[in-house]
Chains A and B, each alone.
Chain A
Amino acid sequence: MANSEAIAAAFADGPAYVPYLVVGDPDYESSKAYVEALDRGGADVIELGLPFSEPIAEGSTIQDALVRALDAGMTPERFFSFAEELDVDAALVCMTYYNLIYQYGDETGPRPFVERAAAAGIQGLVVPDLPAEEADPLREACDELGLDLVFIVAPTTRADRLDRLMERVSGYVYVQARLGTTGARDDVSDQTTESLDRLREYDVPKAVGFGISAGDHAERIVAGGADGIIVGSALVDIVADGVAEDRPTAAVADRLEALSRELKRGAERGHRSRTEAVDSV
């Protein structure tokens, strides 16, 4: 099912390029320039990371970025202002951990966070430490306010759980390409193909994430059946490198835009080869 028209539209024609950055990394203004660069580079959906102090699903690249953002003073309220001020065409999704959503809430449950997110123009949520079993209150609020609640499917997710997840998911499903935490890798795992095969029968866009860092990865993954690619650590690496090398904001933004173009083009090539393969049958 789909709550957000913007997210549905992002997956409607051609593969969606879904980049992720930590909001406020390394500071509020640079971060805004970086997110806008992703948009210029062809982003269809942008996942905005709202930093939490105990990010148990993240590898070291994103953990470090979250610490930089927290040290620079990022808070949920500043995050929402950030989203409001952004000048982008892509649909916005907030990725964060449940405790922040929970604390923003009140006795009615997590609804206040969703209301505030909706007001800030956020179209969907990804909450890595909230499995489907615990998600009903958040999902009800999302359904009511028109946000998508995206779930992650892992290589270890068993068939019975898959059904449960797919009943509750909206917008797109985040296909975790391999076990472990986030982080850029050089190879594309066989687990990706397997995961996509398992999901083929479900009628919801499948975006593959974890480890994608180059255009040819994107191409292969989309050729293998993905409807979108999620890229986080490879982009966060560029930001981290900018911090380490003390590069000007504009230079870092240019690199983010360039990698985005490469990934988007790769995804489009993958999509064409898939369409051609179907046509030739």
Chain B
Amino acid sequence: MSETDTRTTEETERARRPGRERGRDDGKFGPYGGQYVPEALMPAIEELADAYERYVLKNEDGFLDEFRERLADFGGRPTPLQRADRLSERYDTEVFLKREDLLHGGAHKLNNALGQVLLAQYMGKERIIAETGAGQHGTATAMAAAHLDMPCTIYMGERDINRQRPNVFRMKLNGSEVKPVTTGRGTLKEAISETMRDWAETVEDTHYVIGSIVGPHPFPVMVRDFQAVISEEAREQAIEKTGGLPTDVVACAGGGSNTMGAFADFVDDESVALHAVEAGGSTLDVDEEAGVAPNSASLYTGDEGVLHGARTKLLQDSDGQIMESHSISSGLDYAGVGPELAYLVDEGRVDPVAVDDDAALEGFHRLSNTEGIIPALETAHAFGFLEEHHEELGDRVVVNVSGRGDKDLDAAIEETDQRDVANAPDMSMFTGGI
């Protein structure tokens, strides 16, 4: 088959899959999505929407070919779909792991960061900015910017900088500037606001690489399309390995980029159940007086509202002030969620579940101990879900291992020491001295 034939087949395939078309035209997912941004940014996001259509949807100047080649050579794609033997036995069902932890950088984040930095280059932009919470998106953007020789500034909450020093160092090693954000509580949502402020001043030569399927159109669809490579591969690999589609796909959800990436190509396969596992934190109850939600379960418990450029589900008080979220994993610690996931939950297509800090930590130890894979604390929520809900699942389950846990070792030591966790090593030699 010649290349042209392949593309035609791809286009036919796309037309058959309305799930992948959703939101591409106008950024609307039912009542969600949209472009709620200051006027100064409107021209920039209109320019970006135009570039998305030309380069990402129509492969102008061979953008997609270069993107895929770089994802393979620099990123190490495709990542494997691996059968988890012990978990399969434990739950009496076939458990497969989509190994995004093996992507360069140790998490799915590079799929999006590389796509956006490359797109910025095709658009003729000269500078990259990004926000980061735990530092995963920041390090991925810093790697991509270094790889493509673009100057890069990362905004990070001051509190997160103190919690994530190795990631700050990684970004600096790759030549990025890291700017501390001191407003508010100094976490992810303040960093997003601050990056938007930088962009408002520098839109003409700067591209803002947003880290998840959040923000104004075209970010949610564009980030989904860059991350969709996860489900494109997983779907083919599952068919190849098992002769059919999985019964269930499980992914953790903060902003939702690994979630939507893992779901995108399965949305139109109605037989496949999709489970978005949110951080239940310490409790799902909120403290309205203090403006604190000790969880990050915006799909499960949130209400409709407008934050950071889009209408979506949010953790907010009755006046509409955004709450401080919490999770054991800083990567899930966000008061909003991608508008497409909010829509798919309302439609009943995606099943939102909350898994609390304790169950996530147990999942972390279980996967490390039984499968030889140390997952990120974000990812660990998906394994907490598996333990709690395996009886409700079908006989072929794909779990997206969104990232590896090396970055979380300090946090894991501290959190494990505070609890009595099954499968955990004897903590006495790790605590006190550290």
Binding site for B on A (CB under 8 A): 52-60, 63-64, 67, 70, 75-76, 97-100, 102-104, 128-131, 133-134, 151-158, 161, 165, 176, 179-181
Contacts and interface: CB of A to CB of B under 8 A. Distances in A.
A100 B319 contact: yes
Interface of B: 34-40, 42-44, 183-184, 189, 193, 196-197, 200-204, 291, 304-309, 314, 316, 318-322
Nearest to B36: A129
Contacts of B184: 53, 67
A99 B307 contact: yes
A104 B37 contact: no
Given A99-B307, A99-B316, A152 B38 contact: yes
Contacts of A67: 183-184
B215 to A, nearest CB: 11
Contacts of B196: 56
B337 to A, nearest CB: 15
Contacts of B201: 179-181
Main secondary structure of the interface of A (DSSP, over half): loop
Contacts, number: 115
Contact of B197 (A52, A59, A133, A155): A59
A180 B320 contact: no
B38 A128 contact: yes
A102 B306 contact: yes
Best-surrounded residue of A104, A131, A161 (most CB of chain B within 10 A): A131
16 contacts: A52-B320, A54-B193, A70-B321, A76-B319, A98-B306, A103-B318, A129-B306, A129-B309, A151-B39, A152-B39, A154-B38, A156-B204, A157-B43, A176-B39, A181-B197, A181-B200
Nearest to B204: A156
Contacts of A52: 320-321
A156 B43 contact: yes
Contacts of A63: 183
Contact of B203 (A59, A102, A179): A179
A176 B41 CA distance: 12
A60 B197 CA distance: 10
Contacts of A56: 37-38, 193, 196-197, 308
B37 A129 contact: yes
Contacts of A130: 36
A157 B40 CA distance: 7
Nearest to B182: A60
Contacts of B320: 52, 76, 99-100, 102-104
B35 A133 contact: yes
Nearest to A55: B193
A134 B35 contact: yes
B39 A157 contact: yes
Given A57-B200, A67-B183, A158 B43 contact: yes
A131 B42 contact: yes
Nearest to A158: B43
- Which of A53, A151, A154 has the largest number of chain B CB atoms within 10 A? A53
A129 B197 CA distance: 12
Contacts of B40: 57, 152, 154-157, 176, 179-180
B42 to A, nearest CB: 5
A131 B305 contact: no
A135 B430 CA distance: 56
Contacts of B203: 156, 179
A152 B44 CA distance: 16
Given A53-B322, A67-B183, 18 more contacts: A56-B193, A75-B319, A98-B36, A99-B314, A99-B316, A99-B322, A102-B306, A104-B320, A129-B306, A131-B39, A131-B42, A134-B35, A153-B39, A161-B43, A179-B200, A179-B203, A180-B201, A181-B200
Nearest to A135: B36
A75 B309 CA distance: 22
Contacts of A76: 319-320
B6 to A, nearest CB: 37
Contacts of A153: 39
A165 to B, nearest CB: 8
A42 to B, nearest CB: 28
A154 to B, nearest CB: 4
A178 B196 CA distance: 16
Contacts of A97: 306
Given A63-B183, A134-B34, A54 B39 contact: no
Contacts of B321: 52-53, 70, 100
A57 B309 CA distance: 11
A198 to B, nearest CB: 14
A180 to B, nearest CB: 4
The 9 closest A-B pairs by CB, nearest first: A103-B320, A180-B201, A154-B40, A57-B38, A99-B320, A53-B321, A99-B306, A100-B320, A156-B43
A153 B38 CA distance: 10
Contacts of A180: 40, 197, 200-201
Contacts of A134: 34-36
Contacts of B319: 75-76, 100, 103-104
A223 B316 CA distance: 45
Contacts of B39: 128, 131, 151-154, 157, 165, 176
Given A59-B197, A104-B320, A158-B43, A99 B38 contact: no
